Structure formats: C-alpha cells, structure tokens
Amino acid sequence: MEASTVTMNRKVAIYNFFTDGKHLYEDQLGWSKLEKEEARSLVSKEIFDFEVVRVGLNLAFYYLDDGRFYGIHRECIPIDVKILPLDHPENPHINSQCKGDTHVDGDVIFSCRDPKELWDGVRIGGKSLEEVISRSYIITLT
C-alpha cells in the first residue's frame, strides 16, 4: 500500500504579517492550543475566564477587522481596555509595529473594577469579545 500524503491548504489572513514571506494564517487567529489546554476548554468565554479573569493575565491582540492593536490591562484596578499605540508604525510588518505592552497609555474604550464585567461589557465596532478574539491575533498574554 502506498503511503498517502495529506496536504492542508492554509488560508492566509495577512501576507507578510511577521516578516517578508512569513504570513499570518486564519488558523492562527483566536486562542492558541496552549491557552485551550490550560483552560481545558474550547469555549472562548471559558478560556477568557481562565486566563484573564481567574489567572489575571494581561491580554494584547491585533484585530484584523479594524487593523488596531488592543490591550486589556488586567493587572491593575480599574481594569482598562485600550487601543494600544504603535511603537514602530513605519515597520512594514504588522507584528513588529506594536510590542503588545498593555502598560502603555492608549485610548481607553472600556473600564471596570470587576474582571467579570469584561466579557459582556467590551464591544469593539459593535462586536462582542468572542467575535473580536476569533478575528484577532493574540500578541501577548502575560
């Protein structure tokens, strides 16, 4: 019996996102395998609840649909959700334009004292966090 080869055609989300020739693929959007394993869930809200609400990690992501970087600065109270400024806007590779440090100042789009308010409270372009994360590349979770 001949060995068969399975080829998976990955869909590019953004060309040259990381470097020249290194693209961002659709299957890299949203939560990674690592976070799913840690949270022991495939459900976006449960993963968010584990990583951001329960463990208390800061989250930074690039939202493809509006081309902005966002940060949820979880480590302080009040918890601010902000648009992160670009560190290197001149860089042609999007991933290198912003370090994803949620400490830096940015336009605050939502603020709360209880992290449980984040999931239902945050809306970006009218979209829920679940929708936004599924269309985002997570830069940092720290």
Q: Which residues of 97-115 are buried (b: 16+ CB within 10 A; e: fewer)?
A: bbbbbbeeebeeebeeeeb
Which is nearer to other proteins, 2 or 20 (by Cβ)? 20
Give me 57's structure tokens: 């990690």
Give me 94's structure tokens: 């999007």
Give the shortest CB-35-to-other proteins separation in angstroms.
8
Which is nearer to other proteins, 118 or 138 (by Cβ)? 138
Give the shortest CB-50-to-other proteins separation in angstroms.
8
Contact flag: residue 71 with other proteins (CB under 8 A): no
Out of 10, 12, 15, 19, name the contact with other proteins by CB under 8 A.
19
Out of 103, 116, 121, 134, name the contact with other proteins by CB under 8 A.
103
Out of 16, 32, 111, 128, name the contact with other proteins by CB under 8 A.
32
Which is nearer to other proteins, 19 or 109 (by Cβ)? 19
For 50, residues 6+ apart whose C-beta sits below 8 A from its C-beta are 35, 38, 39, 40, 41
Residue with tokens 């976070």: 35
Q: How many CA atoms lie within 13 A of 45 on its CB side?
A: 8
Out of 76, 92, 107, 121, name the contact with other proteins by CB under 8 A.
76
Rounded Cα gap, residues 69 and 82, in angstroms: 9
Helices and strands per DSSP (H, E), number in the chain: 4, 9
Out of 12, 43, 55, 109, name the contact with other proteins by CB under 8 A.
55
Binding site for other proteins (CB under 8 A): 19, 32, 34-35, 37-38, 40, 54-57, 74-77, 96, 100, 103, 138-142
